[in-house]
Structure 1
Amino acid sequence: MRLLLMSDTHVPLRARRLPDELLSAADEADVVIHAGDWVDVATLDLLEGRARRLVGVFGNNDGAELRARLPETARVELGGLRFGVVHETGAARGREARCSARYPDLDVLVFGHSHIPWDTEAPGGLRLLNPGSPTDRRRQPYRTYMTCVVTDGSLGEVVLHRLPMR
């Protein structure tokens, strides 16, 4: 099962549209996961129309219409792994322990908010993944997203994709 992980798309505030490479990855994925801060409903509509399956949550910059259509947190079983999706996990310091305590029943937690890619394993084995942002690099050298494969209850290699500078 091929997964595409993204967050913090911020269209149209940070970009007029999603990058073509990201949209191609969405077409190829079995599941697209978006960890919030869509900003516009059109991006949600676009991904709902393209993705075979979409799992998404709202973020702190998402207004009433997005909040009416998306949950604050999502939980889903994919390929034998228990995934959670949330926009914000708090400060980087102590994140692993905090998330392990808050989500003891998950295998993987996908989150966003910081625009900073993150891939660590918490005590107890919870994998924490932040794909960064495909439209707003903030203090990072690249705009980013992630892909991974789930096979027989195991998370394969997680790949951080760097988008070219605009």
Structure 2
Amino acid sequence: MRLLLMSDTHLPKRAKELPPPLLAEIPRADVVLHAGDWVDTATLDLLESRSRRLVGVYGNNDGPELRARLPEVARADLGGLRFGVVHETGPAQGREARCAHRFPDLDVLVFGHSHIPWDTTADSGLRLLNPGSPTDRRRQPYCTYMTATAADGRLTDVELHRLPRRPA
């Protein structure tokens, strides 16, 4: 099962549209996971119309319309793994232990908010993944998203994709 992970799209505030390489990945994915801060409902509508399956949550910059359509925490069984999606996990220091305590029933937690890519594993075995942002790199050198494969209870081929810089 091919997964596409993204977060913090912030459209149309940070960019006018999703980058073409990311849009090209949507039909290749069996499941798209979005960890919040959509900002506009048009992006949610777009992903719902182009995705085979969408698992998403709202973020701190998402207003009432998005909050009415999305949960704060989403869960899905994918490829024999128990996934969770949430926007915010708090400070980087202590994140693994804090998330393992909050989500003891998960194998993988996808999160966003910081715009900083993250891939670690808690002592409990919980894998934490933040795909960064495809539209707002903030202090990072590139805008990013992730892909991965979930099959037979294993997460493999986790890859962070750097997007080309947009012309100034």
TM (norm. structure 2) is: 0.98
Amino acid in the other structure paired with 2:137: R
Alignment match, 1:30: 30
Matching residue of 1:123: 123
Corresponding position of 1:39: 39
- The match for 1:99 is 99
Q: Unpaired runs of 5+ in structure 2?
A: none
| Percent identity over paired residues | 77
Aligned to 1:12: 12
Two-structure CA RMSD over aligned residues (Å)? 0.4
Q: For residues 104-154 of structure 1, what are the alpha-carbon distances to aligned partners after superposition, in whole Å with 9 as ceiling and x for unaligned?
A: 100000000000000000011000000000000000000000000011110
Distance 1:26 1:110 in 2: 17
Paired residue for 1:111?
111
Q: What is the aligned partner in structure 1 of residue 142 from structure 2?
A: 142
Q: Secondary structure at the match of 1:84?
A: strand
Instruction: Specify the code of the residue in structure 2 equivalent to 1:18.
Output: L
Q: Distance in 1 between matches of 2:11 and 2:102?
A: 30
Q: Secondary structure at the match of 2:157?
A: coil
1:156 match: secondary structure:
strand
What SS does the aligned partner of 1:49 have? Answer: helix
Partner of 1:159: 159
Distance in 1, matches of 2:123 and 2:157, equals 20
Q: Which runs of 5+ in 1 are unaligned?
A: none
What letter matches 1:89 in structure 2?
T
Aligned length: 166
Say yes or no: does 1:48 pair with 2:80. Answer: no
Q: TM-score normalized by structure 1?
A: 0.99
What is the DSSP-based 3-state SS (H/G/I as helix, E as strand, rest coil) of the residue aligned with 2:52?
coil
**CA positional deviation for 1:157:** 2.0
CA deviations on 1:26-67 (whole Å, 9 max, x unpaired) are: 111000000000000000000000000000000000000000
